Amino acid sequence: AQTVTQSQPEMSVQEAETVTLSCTYDTSESDYYLFWYKQPPSRQMILVIRQEAYKQQNATENRFSVNFQKAAKSFSLKISDSQLGDAAMYFCAYRSLHYGGSQGNLIFGKGTKLSVKP
Binding site for another protein (CB under 8 A): 33, 35, 37, 42-47, 50, 52, 89, 91, 95-99, 101-102, 104-106, 108-111, 113
Of residues 30 and 118, the one with the C-beta less far from another protein: 30
Side chain identity, residue 107: I
Considering the complex, state which of residue 70 and residue 113 has its C-beta at the smaller distance from another protein.
Answer: 113
Residue 57 amino acid letter: Q
- Name the minimum Å distance from CB 91 to another protein: 6
Contact 37, 90 (CB under 8 A): yes
* In the complex, minimum distance from the CB of residue 56 to another protein, in angstroms, rounded to a whole number: 17
Task: Report the SS3 class of residue 89.
Answer: strand
The three-class DSSP label of residue 50 is: strand
